[in-house]
Amino acid sequence: MTDTKPQQRREDRELDVGMIQRLLPHRYPMLLVDRVLDWEAGKFIRGMKNVTVDEPFFQGHFPTYPVMPGVLVIEAMAQISGLLVMLSDVARRDGSQLVLFAGIDDARFKRQVVPGDQLLLEAELDRAVRKIGRFIARASVDGQLVCEARLMAAIRDVPPPRELPR
């Protein structure tokens, strides 16, 4: 039996930063995904972050030897995983739900990320049950593994804004 599902064109699988900002609530300096290169709903996503010397964290980490903090590499991996959730229509895209970082296991760092690097971010959906997703995520530079981890995300409704005091 042949697959009658139409093939998604490559240009339909790429997202620029404007499209990413329509799916994620993050903004500079906390938006850590510049482009989505490829994705398949419910399966995988690949994206990238161009790491420039102008990143605000390099001012203090470390001025004489700038290194991207490992927690921000993990955050970039979490953001690419969150994009997979949104693109898979697991969470509502209208801004009424957030994909929140819920856990991390087996994180390992193998290489430092420095200005001029292009960080390739990859995530595979390992499991999704109710409003919890588990991902296998990786970051690499020039084919060298930077970090790998198992991440968890939870989908939560955005609470209504609190009323201002009178």
Catalytically active residues are 61
Of 94, 96, 93, nearest in space to 82 by CA: 93
Query: HSE (CB half, 13 Å, CA atoms) of 61?
Result: 15
Which residues touch 101 (CB under 8 Å, ≥6 apart)? Answer: 75, 78, 151, 152, 153
């482009």: which residue's tokens? 35
């500079």: which residue's tokens? 28
Of 130, 118, 135, nearest in space to 83 by CA: 135
C-beta neighbour count of 88 within 10 angstroms: 17
